[in-house]
Chain A
Amino acid sequence: MEINKFERYWLIAVGITLGAFAAATIIAVTVFGIRLPAPVERIDPQRLDQTIFANPGVRKIADNRYEAVIVARSWAFDAGPEAGNPAVLRFPRGSQVTFYVTSKDVMHGFQIEDHTLNLELVPGQVARATANFNRPGTYHIICNHYCGAGHQVMYGTIIVE
């Protein structure tokens, strides 16, 4: 079986292209520190009151550093009474926020507009991700995983001041 000269060149070009894609992925992790969601903890969605999700809300943990604990349910993001419904969260510019989110009923999604934060909320799993809010503006939290007839109105708002 012989491989034609031109096809060999083509395969080399393909190899270089895919190598570049793979290298970009590895650089994104090692140099830019982009992190994918990874296992945090398993919890019982029926007994959220025995976990950190008993009291959803935003806590300041250091200068410009916050923790936001949010419970997703059909069809709202519950970020505590202060945030209201639909939830509105306010952060000063330059904040680094770590989100802890879970679902208490069906699958939901958690995506922040214009930020690379995109989580699947799987009942029984705690999802954790960190976002940096450096540009002032209003960004929506969008449920991007189908969760029933009210899916399209499930959202929250983040205001960066």
Chain B
Amino acid sequence: MASVTFPQTLEAPATPTTLKLVKRERLMIGAHIIAALVSLMFGIFMGPFQTFHRSPTFVQYFPTIPVFTFYYQAVTAHGVMNALFFTTFFIIGFSYFVMERSLQRPIKSVVMGWAAFASMAIGLVMMLFVLLTMPQQSAVLYTFYPPMIAPALFYIGLVLLALGSWLASANIFLTYRDWKREHPNERVPLAVFALVVNFIVWCIATIGVAVEIVFMLLPASLGILKVTDPQLARTLFWFFGHPLVYFWLIPAYVSWYTMLPRQAGGRLFSEPLARVAFILFLVFSVPVGVHHQFSDPGISASSKGIQTLLTLIVSIPSFMTAFNVGAALENAARNRGAKTLFDWPFKQKWNDPVVAAQLSGMLLFIAGGFSGLINASAQLNATIHNTSWVPAHFHQTLGGAVTLTYLGIMYWLLPAIRGRALFSKKIALAQVFTWLIGMMLFGLAMGEAGLQGVPRRALTSQSPYLSPAGAFWLDVTAVSGVILLVSSILLYVNIIGTLFFSRQPMPEAEVPIETVSGDRTSPLWFERWGIWLGMLGILLLIAYGPVMTEVLDFQEGWNILRYMPTTSAPMP
């Protein structure tokens, strides 16, 4: 096998500097990571219990399943805690670390950083309070649309989370701006480039859900607003709901592009093309939300068609990433003595939990990515819309690629913050591989059940319509739930062990820090954000202009909130 010549774009390999985290950084980043782990703890354990609740055989033998006996409370807590609170806390904490280390400067304002954290933490406390004390009323799921209305605390908690995240975004943008003013003719390190993209996507996407909450759901919950329009609310929610997944994915890509090559023992194939991939995310990840609404009656088929094509395009940066990171991993394996065409995936550091977690996430992402392309095809969606195929898909992307990469990061970041070594690498490895196997089985079983017509997030063990094939696959799902429960326990054993019982010092060499951008060939205008925002604006007009016209339905006047009375969530 002739080795591929790498493009000569890297003049000087990035050199890691020694890790000297000052106390201020350890407190700030540590607070975010701990809050993320608390959120994840409330979310993660709800997952396996849902698979138990849904499996007819499991319920037959264990009629009472402890912990969250109300199934829809578990669904809501799982979604809200994992998808909204865990991810946001983790991404912001990780982003502060990357910004400060890569730019070699503190974030713009520590006070603003703590204000942002306080806002999000109060939001978390409010949300946990409402989820735990009002299980029935707050069971509106993490995709919350009217006319089902939760208690006001639910929405206030979300507003505080969003406010905090916007403050954090501002902090990150200002830090970048200060660096750029001092280095006008330099390329910002790739990791920071990607994070700037990420927080731009976040700030644009959250406009949709903020409008839904502040102008529709919260006033309805407080009793001020008596009517609502579910079609408009759904459209606003999914304007946010799909870019949200890229907000989760891009930090994982930051690790794959800028940290994993060195962790695996190789180097990145092409840094300029990595920047192109992130620019494509910036331009294409927002105008695609309607692909969650292919079955909605209020949006025309042509509007849906436009967003089908845009969704196919947003897969291109992920395909580029597969090549670029794949080449970096092959390079790492060749350095380690891989010789033949297909032995390089096996010659990886599968015994290092940080690397193994990210590689396992990539394996799951192959299945998750392709099932995503199926979902994006408007006609195929009719077969699988709202069936358990959909959670199968996003547990391989979010529960797989994103979560495993975050855990891989956690396995070096938490020790770095704590200043002690990871409690046990063996437990970490066992956690990674049980997660990989459990999530593969979960994806297979939920996907098959979905093709048998089993709906998502329904207490199917009590459903009269369940077919034998559907019941079989739900039982398999419960088996995957057991494996994932074991994996989750292993994760928290290691986290608690690292925080309180680890006695070894942290090996500094294991912390990946990118300090210098080795990229000397990508054009400087890549960082003229106005160009990309302008393109995004045009695409939004094309993709969402017709949709909003149809949903707002101007022909019948401006009174869009004219029909539907609001209700609180139905009681059991």
Chain A contacts to B: CB under 8 angstroms: 1-4, 6-7, 10-11, 14, 18, 21-22, 24-25, 28-29, 34-40, 42-46, 74, 86, 105-107, 109, 111, 113-114, 116-128, 140, 142-153, 155, 157
When the two chains form their complex, are residues B385 and A111 in contact, meaning their CB atoms are under 8 A apart? yes
Cβ of A7 and Cβ of B323 under 8 Å apart?
A: yes
Specify the chain A residue showing the minimal Cβ separation from B565. Answer: A46
Do the beta carbons of B378 and A36 come within 8 Å of each other? yes
B563: chain A residues at CB < 8 Å are 42-46, 123-124
Q: Is the interface of B mostly helix, strand, loop or mixed?
A: loop
- Which residues B304-341 have CB closer than 8 A to chain A? 304-305, 308-309, 312-313, 315-316, 319-320, 323-324, 327
Ordered by A's residue number, 21 sampled pairs between the chains whose C-beta atoms are within 8 Å are A1-B523, A3-B273, A4-B269, A10-B319, A18-B312, A18-B316, A22-B312, A25-B308, A28-B378, A29-B305, A34-B379, A107-B148, A116-B383, A118-B383, A124-B230, A143-B455, A144-B385, A144-B455, A146-B75, A148-B148, A153-B463
Chain B residues in 8 Å Cβ range of A46: 563, 565
Contact: B7 with A4, CB < 8 Å? yes
Q: Nearest 5 A-B pairs (CB), nearest first? A: A148-B570, A149-B572, A144-B455, A144-B386, A127-B297
Contacts of A149 in B (CB 8 A): 70, 72, 136, 139, 570-572
Assess the A45–B564 pair: CB atoms within 8 A.
Answer: yes
- In the bound assembly, the distance between CA atoms of A37 and B564 in angstroms comes to 21
Complex interface bits, B458-490 against A, C-beta within 8 A gives 1, otherwise 0: 111011110100000000000000000000000
Distance (whole angstroms) from the CB of A71 to the closest CB of chain B: 14
CA distance A1 to B6 in the complex (A): 13
Q: Quick check: B379 and A36 within 8 Å, CB to CB?
A: yes
Q: Is B169 an interface residue (CB 8 A)?
A: no
Contacts of B70 in A (CB 8 A): 149
Docked Cα-Cα span, A34 to B380, in Å, equals 10
CB distance from A2 to the nearest CB of B (A): 6
Alpha-carbon distance A4/B464, docked complex (angstroms): 57
Write the chain B residue with the least CB distance to A18. B312
List the one stretch of B20-28, B288-296, B391-399, B403-411 in contact with chain A. Answer: B288-296
* Chain B residues within 8 Å of A14, by CB: 316, 319-320
Q: Assuming the A-B contacts A1-B522, A2-B521, are A39 and B379 also in contact, with contact meaning beta carbons closer than 8 angstroms in the complex?
A: no
Q: Which residues of B sit under 8 angstroms from A140, Cβ to Cβ? A: 453, 465
Closest-CB distance, B435 to chain A (whole angstroms)? 27
Provide the residues of chain A in CB contact with B373, threshold 8 Å: 21
Chain A residues within an 8 Å CB radius of B553: 42
Contact of B453 among A43, A111, A124, A128 (CB under 8 A): A111
Could you tell me if B462 and A144 are in contact, using CB atoms closer than 8 angstroms?
A: no
Contact check, B458 vs A123: say whether CB atoms are below 8 A apart. no
Tally of contact residues, B, Cβ under 8 A: 81
| Nearest-neighbor residue (CB-CB) of B376 within chain A | A21
Min CB gap A148→B, angstroms: 3
Contact check: which of A106, A113, A142 meets B570 at CB < 8 Å? A106
B383 touches A39 (CB 8 A): no
Closest to A112 in B: B453
| B297 in contact with A39 (CB, 8 Å) | yes
Residue B126 is within 8 A (CB to CB) of chain A in the complex: no
Q: CA separation between A86 and B231, bound complex, in Å?
A: 27
Q: B457 contacts which of A25, A86, A114, A146 (Cβ < 8 Å)?
A: A146
Contacts of A124 in B (CB 8 A): 229-231, 563-564
Q: Which listed residue, B313, B378, B523, touches A25 by the CB 8 Å rule? A: B378
The minimal Cβ–Cβ distance linking A151 to chain B, given in whole angstroms, is 5
Residues of B near A28 (CB, < 8 A) are 377-379
B463 surroundings in chain A (CB, below 8 A): 152-153, 155
Minimum C-beta distance from B18 to chain A (A): 33
Tell me the minimal C-beta distance from B75 to chain A in angstroms. Answer: 8
**A38 and B455 in contact (CB under 8 A), knowing A2-B7, A18-B316?**
no
- On chain B, the residues within 8 Å of A109 by CB distance are 295, 386, 455
- Could you tell me the distance between the alpha carbons of A119 and B324 in the complex, rounded to whole angstroms? 40
Given the interface pairs A3-B273, A151-B458, A151-B459, the reply to whether A29 lies near B379 with Cβ below 8 Å is yes
B446 to chain A, nearest CB (A): 14
* Complex CA distance for A37 and B465, rounded to whole angstroms: 25
- What is the distance, in angstroms, from A113's C-beta to the closest C-beta of chain B? 4
The answer to whether A144 touches B293 (Cβ under 8 A) is no
Q: Which residue of the partner chain B has the closest CB to A123? A: B564
Chain B residues in 8 Å Cβ range of A119: 295, 297
- Of chain B, the residue at the smallest CB distance from A128 is B297
Chain A minimum-CB-distance residue to B522:
A1
The answer to whether the Cβ of B298 comes within 8 Å of any Cβ in the partner chain is: yes
Q: How long is the Cα–Cα vector from A34 to B382 in the complex, in angstroms?
A: 10
Q: A42-B563, A118-B385 are in contact. List 17 more A-B contacts (CB 8 A).
A: A1-B272, A18-B312, A35-B301, A36-B379, A37-B296, A39-B299, A39-B550, A42-B556, A111-B385, A111-B455, A113-B465, A116-B383, A125-B298, A143-B458, A149-B70, A151-B72, A152-B458
A105, B455: Cβ atoms closer than 8 Å? no
The CA-CA distance from A122 to B228 in the complex, in Å, is 12
Q: Which residues of A contact B139 (CB under 8 A)?
A: 149
| B521 x A111 contact (CB < 8 A) | no
What's the least CB distance linking B418 to chain A, in Å? 40
A127 to chain B, nearest CB (A): 4
Partner of A142, one of B301, B316, B455, B565: B455
Give the docked Cα–Cα distance between A121 and B386 (Å): 12
Contacting residues, chain B, for A25 (C-beta < 8 A): 305, 308-309, 377-379
Q: Is B171 an interface residue (CB 8 A)?
A: no
Q: Is the CB of A146 within 8 A of B385?
A: no
Q: Give the docked Cα–Cα distance between A39 and B303 (Å).
A: 11
Indicate if B569 sits at the interface (CB-CB under 8 A): yes
What residues of chain B lie closer than 8 Å to A116, measured between beta carbons? 379, 382-383
B37 to chain A, nearest CB (A): 28
Decide: A122 and B298 in contact? CB cutoff 8 A: yes
Does chain A have a CB within 8 A of B4? Answer: yes
Q: How far is the CA of A29 from the CA of B459 in the complex (A)?
A: 35
With a cutoff of 8 Å between Cβ atoms, the chain B residues found around residue A86 in the complex are 464
Cα of A24 to Cα of B320 in the assembled complex, Å: 23
Instruction: Give the residue of B136, B145, B386, B464 whose beta carbon is less than 8 angstroms from that of A118.
Output: B386
Q: Would A6 and B465 count as touching, CB distance under 8 A?
A: no
- B298, closest chain A residue (CB): A125
Q: Does B434 contact A (CB under 8 A)?
A: no
Contact, CB under 8 Å: A153 / B464: yes
Contacts of B457 in A (CB 8 A): 146
